[in-house]
Chain A
Amino acid sequence: MQLDKMDLGIHDFFTYPPVGEDDYAYMFQTAQVRSMETQMLTRTALLDMANASDFTSAAGSLSGTEYTLPSGAGAAELETMLRQRRSAVRRLFEDLMLDERIVEIFRNRNDYANLRLVLRRVLTDKPVGADYSAEGNAPPELLAQAFEEQNYAILPEHVQAAIDQATLAYYQNKSVRQIDFAIDRAEAAYGLERARTVDGNVFLVNLFRIQVDLTNLRTMLRVKSLGADPRDALLEGGFVEMDRLRQGFDLPYEALGALFFATPYHHIVESGAGYLAANGSFLVVEQQCDDYLLGYLRQTMQIASGPQPVIAFFLAKEHEIRTVRLILTAKKNQLDTKLILDRIA
């Protein structure tokens, strides 16, 4: 039964895949995130910010929340504040999560981000540097040491594997992009593999598969608009079949809606491709992808208790921080309100 549930096809669910079972060990944690969810910024608050006349009044509307900025704060203060909020959310998540493996899975994202940076530098003979994120599983000093001494054995095994794949991909045609493609693939595959080993993993596996799908959809549209080489860019393991995505590379934008008609992503593709064709911009497809993911996270309301609401809260909070950054940066640089609304609404 469990196995059947884990390997759902694209047609086995209607809008969102299932979120899994209750786990009463997470009663306290669930209660805590549910109360904290009530203090998150509402949609109205975000729209008010986007519609504010300038940066000062947009930042002012955040006073009293955890995103309060001192008056006269600049872009640097904004960035520092948001980074602090993000670290706080990550720390909270790590405290609340009873299962260390889930914490590790999410910390891995930073490992791979560090890896992208260090591999680019090392393979193009630039200094290793020290500006790596400390929020991964492998501390930045270890990473720098491994690359300076060429001693990769001190790194975790999956990181070593990713390094091997990326190096190999780079030397095939000396393209820096290949490093990223290889690491993206390694990250997606490893995330899924780890998620399958965790108990009560239906939610995590489905979450990662959705993320792979959304990345693939965005990639498909980006490759089409760039006229780039579609090889290597797609990630394996999502719900959408590879053939369907490959077919999408050759179809005109208007036909994409029909191609994805039977999938839950129909709306994302249709409105995203329409906006891309009309405005040459990915704002709507990105907004739709975020919306879909948040919709899936919201499905965790169905369960009384478990790791799912905690993960959902964590990801929603990270998304909120990104949205605040987006609106405030846009306001600071006097971008069109319409652009902001296209991105967030």
Chain B
Amino acid sequence: MEFMGIGFALLGAALAVFLSGFGSAIGLAAAAKAATGVLSEKPERYGTLMLLVVLPSTQGIYGFVVGLFVMIKLNMFAGAPIAITWYQGLQILAACLPIAFAGWISGIQQGRTGAAGILMSAKRPEMAFKAGVVYAAMIELYAILGFLVSLLILLMGIPLQAPGVAA
């Protein structure tokens, strides 16, 4: 049973990293394609468009941080992972899900919103920050909420015993 606990916990870490990374990658691709399209005609817009392109990359980072915390919590870096029950493993898995899903969906949508903002800024450069960045940043809020909840559950919600003590 004790291997199953570690399994669940690692599955959670993997989900958090790969789903939010997945969302970030798709979102970044959409925004970057739109930006290159505009830049091919108007290279002087590079600075304004940069922000809109990089916004969706945060979700991947959040997922990565959550994944990292899971591993820290399991004491993976110290060599000997804590043996946890399958019940605790499931808890860690659940803690990872908020950022996994929020990161995934919001990454894609943020990328598309950013891309739409980039398209709009092709015609109305003065609105690029006001509308484009602000709208895309609103989506960021929900990625942050997911990240916070994941992190809080992980750090405060799941008490694990000190290393070395048998479960």
Partner-B contacts on A (CB < 8 A): 24, 27-39, 304-305
Contacts and interface: CB of A to CB of B under 8 A. Distances in A.
Contact of A305 (B36, B40, B119): B119
Contact of A30 (B29, B31, B34): B34
Nearest to B119: A34
Contacts of B29: 27
B37 A35 contact: yes
B123 interface: yes
6 contacts: A27-B30, A27-B115, A28-B37, A32-B37, A35-B40, A304-B112
Contact of B33 (A27, A34, A35, A36): A27
Give the most central of B40, B122, B123: most A CB within 10 Å: B122
Interface of B: 29-31, 33-38, 40-42, 112, 115-116, 118-119, 122-123
A24 B34 CA distance: 10
Nearest to A29: B37
A28 B41 CA distance: 11
Interface of A, secondary structure class, is helix
A178 B31 CA distance: 52
A31 B29 CA distance: 13
A304 B33 contact: no
Give the most central of A35, A38, A305: most B CB within 10 Å: A35
A34 B115 contact: no
A24 B29 CA distance: 10
B23 to A, nearest CB: 14
Contact of A32 (B31, B38, B123): B38
Nearest to A36: B41
A31 B122 contact: yes
A305 to B, nearest CB: 7
A307 to B, nearest CB: 14
A106 to B, nearest CB: 21
Contacts of A28: 33-34, 36-37
Closest 8 CB pairs of A and B: A31-B37, A35-B41, A27-B33, A32-B37, A28-B33, A304-B116, A31-B34, A35-B122
A34 B122 contact: yes
B164 to A, nearest CB: 51
A38 B119 CA distance: 11
